[in-house]
Amino acid sequence: MELPKRYHYNPSPPMAILGLVFFGLGILLFSSKAQHNDRGLILWHLIEFGPGGATMFYWVLTVVSGLFSLMGLILLVRTAVFPRFLELGDEVLTLPAGYLHLKSSNIRYSDVEGLWETRFNFQTILTVVLSNGQRYHMTRSMFEDAKYYEEVRDFLASRSVGNEFCPASR
């Protein structure tokens, strides 16, 4: 592999748009329910709300849906304005990190103590463990294509000879 090599490392815009639409519809539904509510609500046969409590419950769901919609919008804007990249260099891996991946961390290959891959539902995550105990996570869905994730994973596994690598069971 020729180094340095850069990979787009951003959330999938269609998924962010789907979340934005889904929670936007939640705003419409719950605000309508709150505005026109005239009866109580029973949740799971355990919690009972009178008409006022049910209205408050619907307003809370409206606000929560609004916050998730706002997060989706921020994610879309962040991806469009500040696209993030993962870069494999000669001696270091540069990985987007922090809240909204706005900063980058440089990881020396010599500091990598272990790698392991975890699969959960439809998600695959590669965890990079450093000698100082820090951990970094790379999510397959953040790459434009699964083959790029596999390229990075295989490259890191080859550079961490003598260190632990635990692939996910298939």
Domain ranges of the chain: 13-81, 86-166
pLDDT tier for residue 166 given thresholds of 50, 70 and 90? confident
pLDDT tens readout for residues 28-70: 999 999 999 999 999 988 999 999 999 999 999 999 999 999 9
pLDDT tier for residue 151 given thresholds of 50, 70 and 90? very high
pLDDT tier for residue 100 given thresholds of 50, 70 and 90? confident
Name residue 152's amino acid.
V
Tokens standing for residue 68: 């998730």
pLDDT tens readout for residues 114-134: 899 999 888 999 999 998 999
Q: Whole-angstrom Cα distance, residue 45 to residue 56?
A: 19
What's the topology of domain 86-166?
A: PH-domain like (2.30.29)
> Tokens 């990249």 label which residue?
85
pLDDT tier for residue 1 given thresholds of 50, 70 and 90? confident
Element spanning 137, H or E: strand 135-139
**Confidence check: pLDDT of 89 > 70:** yes
pLDDT tier for residue 8 given thresholds of 50, 70 and 90? very high
65-69, 108-112, 163-167, range with the lowest pLDDT? 163-167
In the chain the first and final C-alpha atoms are separated, in Å, by 26
